[in-house]
């Protein structure tokens, strides 16, 4: 039966592992809200996967420590705090270890722990991504059925004026990519909506821009006409 | 900017493999390629039988052709 200190150390290691793996997702989905990223069954299982591997490494650390740390640091591993930090930050070294690398259709697949960890992690992250995209599509459908298409272009232009110089450059580049090659009206609107979401706070943030512009256009018919013509000239 | 066809097809296929099925606007974001270039790549990949296209309707109140989004998926 493990003592209290070992359990506490293991818990700390798991927390470190969860924070580290969550930071990876936060950097990938910078434009999404916390709720969108973390309230998902796929994220839960991803966390569980990392927690299981981290616990295994924490438990096995006294036996495999030679792989993870330099020999002069080995005695320090008896300290539960050092053991927890080493397992929490170093479990991926073991999880990513493969005995053999084979190439399947141009992709390297590791046979060993890497094969198990990578397959499960990729599956979960891919479905997490699909779930976020499906949510984005559903949000767009609601917006698309509420506003005429040129409102999306107007909202994006309105947002662009409020961005910092650094963000505006990237924003304009993406907008130029979306405009190229006479996109279909729906494709262009969806692209503009994704762009809007990249720089606003969730669905509500994008909705605020769309409704704000809708109000402006109601009181300015000439601006609405210009915007409508511009939208028609861009799309096929 | 010029894009080599081989490089474009590779980027589109890689994005579909890593991130799963996507619409053309989503591919513009994930591949960082212009819409027109992605659209051409999708046509080529469809001709070669490497992908399949499924249509989803965005707004039932609008005519289907005008409001259907093409979702591109790898033929595996």
Q: Do A187 and B22 touch (CB under 8 A)?
A: no
- In chain A, how many H helices and how many E strands? 10, 2
Question: For residues A30 and A47, which has the higher predicted lDDT (pLDDT)?
Answer: A47
pLDDT at A62: 78
pLDDT at A206: 92
Q: Is B68 helix (H, G, I), strand (E, B) or coil?
A: strand
Domain spanning B5-74, CATH class: mainly alpha
Strands (E) located in B1-76: 22-23, 51-57, 68-74
Find chain A residues with C-beta within 8 A of B27's C-beta: none
Question: What is the interface pTM, i.e. ipTM, of the complex?
Answer: 0.89
Q: Where are the domains of chain B?
A: 5-74
Q: What is the pTM of this model?
A: 0.80
- The answer to whether B28 contacts chain A (CB < 8 Å) is yes
Residue-wise pLDDT for A7-34, tens only, equals 888 999 999 989 988 887 888 887 788 8
**Interchain pair B34, A181: CB under 8 A:** yes
The four Cα atoms B7, B50, B30, A197 give a dihedral, to 10 degrees, of 150
Distance in angstroms (rounded) separating the CA atoms of residues A119 and A209: 40
**What is the nearest CA distance from B49 to chain A, expressed in angstroms?**
17
Tokens of B22: 């996507």
What is the tens place of the pLDDT at every residue in A126-145?
A: 899 889 988 999 999 999 99
Residue A181 vs residues A67, A184, B37, B39: alpha-carbon distances, Å: 54, 9, 8, 8
Residue A116's alpha-carbon distances to A40, A50, A102, A111, B17, in angstroms, are: 22, 12, 14, 8, 19
Say if residues A172 and A118 touch (Cβ distance below 8 Å). Answer: no
A97 confidence band (pLDDT: 50, 70, 90): confident
Residue/partner pairs of B6-11 with CB below 8 Å, 24 or more apart: B8/B33, B8/B37, B8/B38, B8/B40, B8/B41, B9/B41, B9/B44, B9/B45
User: What digits encode the pLDDT tens for the residues B27-66?
Assistant: 999 999 999 999 999 999 999 999 999 988 776 665 555 6
């Amino acid at each position: 039966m493990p003592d209290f200190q070992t359990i506490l150390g293991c818990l700390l290691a798991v927390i470190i592992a969860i924070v580290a793996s969550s930071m990876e997702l936060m950097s990938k989905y910078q434009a999404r809200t916390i709720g969108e990223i973390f309230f998902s069954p796929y994220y839960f299982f991803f966390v569980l996967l990392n927690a299981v591997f981290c616990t295994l490494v924490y438990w096995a650390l006294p036996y495999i420590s030679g792989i993870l740390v330099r020999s002069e640091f080995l005695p320090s591993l008896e300290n539960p705090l050092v053991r927890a930090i080493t397992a929490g930050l170093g479990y991926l070294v073991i999880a990513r270890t493969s005995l053999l690398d084979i190439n399947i259709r141009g992709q390297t697949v590791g046979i060993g722990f890497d094969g198990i960890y990578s397959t499960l992690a990729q599956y979960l992250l891919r479905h997490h991504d699909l779930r976020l995209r499906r949510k984005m599509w559903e949000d767009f459908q609601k917006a698309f059925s509420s506003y005429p298409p040129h409102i999306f272009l107007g909202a994006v232009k309105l947002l662009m004026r409020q961005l910092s110089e650094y963000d505006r450059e990237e924003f304009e580049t993406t907008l130029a990519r979306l405009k190229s090659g006479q996109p279909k009206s729906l494709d262009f609107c969806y692209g503009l909506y994704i762009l809007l979401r990249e720089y606003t706070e969730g669905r509500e943030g994008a909705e605020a821009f769309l409704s704000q512009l809708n109000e402006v256009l109601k009181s300015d018919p000439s601006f609405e006409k210009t915007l409508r013509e511009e939208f028609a000239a861009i799309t096929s | 900017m010029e894009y080599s066809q081989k490089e474009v097809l590779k980027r589109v296929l890689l994005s579909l493999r890593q991130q799963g099925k996507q619409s053309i606007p989503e591919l513009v974001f994930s591949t960082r390629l212009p819409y027109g270039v992605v659209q051409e790549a999708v046509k080529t990949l469809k001709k070669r039988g490497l992908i399949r296209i499924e249509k989803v309707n965005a707004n039932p109140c609008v005519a289907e052709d005008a409001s259907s989004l093409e979702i591109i998926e790898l033929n595996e």
